[in-house]
Amino acid sequence: MSTLLRVDASLRLDGSVSRALADSAEAAWKAEHPDGVVVRRDLGQHQLPVTAWPALVTAKLGGDPGPELAEAKALAEELAAEIKAADAVLLAVPLYNYGIAQHVKTWIDLLLIDPELVYGPSPIAGRPAILTLARGGGYSPGTPKHGWDHATPYLERIFGDVFGMNVRIAAAELTLAPVTPGMEELIDASKVSESEAHVTAEQHGTVVARELTANAA
């Protein structure tokens, strides 16, 4: 029986494109693994304490971390154990202010405290990670803001290069076109991008599930 760790980062529930894309990937995964376990962590709705990582680093440097240390250690260990126990990771992240939000960075920073995940061989190396990403504007080559998406390269670096995971991406762009004055002419393009991203997310969910089945055989 496979375990999928799903991590959502959007501050929205209704109307969140990154969550909707993750729903498509999860549904495809569950269609292949109806008895599989989905472990959920919602960073957008249940944010991690921003004091945890500074407390752990301060203690490591020999300083006084304050009363947060015990709780920070327990939290970091819980997060590391959670991702190590997962056969696959589904991470839904919107682009906020051209990068990842603070609550996503806090989660990643706490994972990077674990030496097993960082200094290898990582216990999650080779495992699949599906990233469902939502970008309010257009950041593709040829657009005025090409290169302004600092979230995707960072996530690829951490999950692909640091953790050694097999990263697959489904991304929708122009997601703010339907609600942003001045972007009306991009609404049709936004719908196409979102539709294509759902297809890609479903394909990733199916492929990842089948790969897990084949590896377990």
pLDDT in tens, 100-133: 999 999 999 999 999 999 997 899 999 999 999 9
Indicate if the pLDDT at residue 216 is higher than 90: no
Overall average pLDDT of the 12-22 stretch: 95
Q: Rounded distance, CA 166 to CA 90, Å?
A: 12
User: What's the CATH architecture for 3-216?
Assistant: 3-Layer(aba) Sandwich (3.40)
Overall average pLDDT of the 33-55 stretch: 94
- Split at pLDDT 50, 70, 90, the class of 7 is very high
- 91 near 155, Cβ under 8 Å? yes
Q: How far is CA 26 from CA 42, 64, 75, 132, in A?
A: 15, 43, 26, 11
Cβ within 8 Å of residue 135, ≥6 positions away: 94, 95, 149, 171, 172, 173, 174, 175
Q: Which candidate, 12, 211, 186, 33, places its Cα nearest to that of 92? A: 12
Torsion of CA 156, 46, 127, 153, to 10 degrees: 0
Q: What is the pTM of this model?
A: 0.94
In the chain, pLDDT over 70 holds for what percent of residues?
Answer: 99
Name the helix (H) or strand (E) containing 40. Answer: strand 37-42
Instruction: Specify the pLDDT at position 63.
Output: 84
60 three-state secondary structure: helix
For the chain, domain boundaries? 3-216
DSSP state of 180: S
Using a 10 angstrom Cβ sphere, with 0-12 exposed, 13-18 middle and 19 or more buried, the burial of residue 169 is middle
Amino acid at 31: A
pLDDT in tens, 45-103: 999 999 999 999 998 888 888 788 899 999 999 999 999 999 999 999 999 999 999 99
Q: Rounded distance, CA 41 to CA 10, Å?
A: 12
What residues are paired with 92 via a beta bridge?
8, 132
Angle, alpha carbons 21-80-78 (nearest 5°) = 100
Instruction: Specify the pLDDT at position 217.
Output: 58
Instruction: Specify the pLDDT at position 45.
Output: 95
Helices (H), the chain: 17-32, 52-60, 69-84, 102-111, 115-119, 151-156, 187-216
